[in-house]
């Protein structure tokens, strides 16, 4: 991104120029293409984008749990508390996982081991990182269950005895059990019933504030971002196309893709007959278009967009846009 942001010394985590590919039967899938962002202590960043934009890959790369093969980190660095996570040994990385950085997964139905009691699954992460007896770990696990609103006497029960929302609470309890510095929440409410989505999301935000944990929230729902994030990065085809403070982005969106996303949200105030979907489909990551990867779907695309490198421009202080004609789209 720009030089100013790179110098930010308060950053807890800063990801720089990250590139990740998947190799599958000869074809190379460019999942993440030069992504940079950072996050300060206690703040939360929203990563917004369509399915397949590379959001989950970014989170898994930070945590170092990408399946390799087929995934491979080509370049970039992930600096966390002064150390590049990509350069740590597997043993050092294990110390970080679960303790310093933890993750809430998308699908609570499959994220818990069906054969181990939920309490033991929480206690596992505690006894791995805290120097304590099994009994103390179990005690801590019970506290965590209470904290996410599950009675501690359900410790011995198995995942299949819990509903989806309850399972996600257990996953959250696992993620927060060791007071991590950074929480990666990968679409934590997508797989849940609409009625409990808000409940779970509120709980995550509340606990995040209470424990003063930084959070990267991955979602495709701008509404969720509006409620829980401080900064927002909009991702398209493995690139951040727009990056700004939440207020700035919502009041003053610049990139045609971001505008498209806003255009496809139903509004309560304006009377609109039809939503405006973004025309076309996300590009095939095996074969990304040359130039700006959004140009085939962009209403403002010119010859210049089809070739050559597009670079970031700063629309307002701290508001970066990856577009050739930022001013154009503002008028539109």
* Chain residues that interact with another protein, rule: CB under 8 A: 22, 24-25, 27, 29-31, 51-57, 60, 63, 65, 67, 70, 94-99, 102-103, 105, 107, 110-116, 124-125, 128-129, 158, 160-161, 171, 174, 238, 282, 284-286
**C-beta of 89: minimal distance to another protein in Å?**
13
**C-beta of 105: minimal distance to another protein in Å?**
6
Beta carbons within 10 angstroms of residue 69's beta carbon: 9
Question: Burial level of 86, CB count in 10 A (0-12/13-18/19+)?
Answer: middle
**C-beta of 216: minimal distance to another protein in Å?**
14
Residue closer to another protein (CB basis): 65 or 275: 65
Residue closer to another protein (CB basis): 166 or 329: 166
Nearest CA to 48 among 224, 181, 193?
Answer: 224
- For residue 100 the two structure tokens come to 């310093």
Bridging pattern class, strands 71-80 and 312-316:
unpaired
Q: CA angle 168-200-102, nearest 5°?
A: 55
Instruction: State the distance between the two ends of the chain, measured CA to CA, in whole angstroms.
Output: 26
**C-beta of 121: minimal distance to another protein in Å?**
8
**C-beta of 265: minimal distance to another protein in Å?**
21
Residue closer to another protein (CB basis): 136 or 227: 136
Residue closer to another protein (CB basis): 98 or 253: 98
Q: Looking at the chain, how many residues does it have?
A: 332
Contact 299, 292 (CB under 8 A): no
Residue closer to another protein (CB basis): 31 or 329: 31
């Amino acid at each position: 991104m720009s030089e100013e942001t790179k110098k930010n010394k308060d950053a807890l985590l800063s990801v720089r120029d990250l590139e990740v590919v998947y190799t599958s039967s000869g074809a190379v899938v460019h999942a993440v293409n030069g992504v940079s962002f950072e996050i300060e202590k206690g703040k939360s960043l929203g990563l917004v984008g369509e399915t397949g934009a590379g959001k989950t890959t970014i989170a898994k790369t930070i945590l170092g749990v990408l399946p390799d093969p087929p995934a491979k980190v080509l370049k970039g660095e992930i600096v966390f508390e002064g150390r590049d996570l990509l350069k740590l040994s597997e043993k050092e990385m294990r110390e970080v996982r679960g303790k310093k950085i933890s993750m809430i997964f998308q699908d609570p139905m499959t994220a818990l081991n069906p054969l181990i009691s939920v309490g033991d699954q929480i206690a596992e992460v505690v006894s791995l990182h805290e120097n304590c007896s099994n009994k103390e770990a179990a005690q801590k696990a019970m506290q965590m269950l209470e904290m996410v609103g599950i009675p501690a006497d359900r410790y011995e029960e198995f995942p299949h005895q819990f509903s989806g929302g309850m399972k996600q609470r257990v996953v959250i309890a696992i993620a927060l059990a060791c007071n991590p510095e950074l929480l990666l929440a990968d679409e934590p409410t997508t797989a849940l019933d609409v009625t409990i989505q808000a409940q779970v999301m509120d709980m995550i935000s509340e606990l995040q504030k209470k424990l003063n944990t930084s959070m990267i929230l991955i979602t495709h729902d701008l509404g969720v971002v509006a409620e829980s994030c401080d900064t927002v990065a909009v991702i398209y085809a493995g690139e951040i196309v727009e990056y700004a403070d939440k207020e700035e982005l919502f009041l003053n969106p610049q990139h045609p893709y971001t505008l498209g996303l806003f255009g496809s949200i139903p509004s309560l105030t304006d009377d609109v007959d039809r939503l405006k979907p973004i025309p076309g489909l996300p590009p095939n990551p095996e074969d990304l278009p040359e130039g700006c990867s959004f140009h085939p779907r962009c209403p403002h695309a010119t010859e210049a967009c089809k070739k050559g490198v597009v670079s970031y421009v700063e629309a307002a202080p701290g508001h970066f846009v990856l577009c050739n004609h930022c001013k154009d789209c503002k008028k539109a």
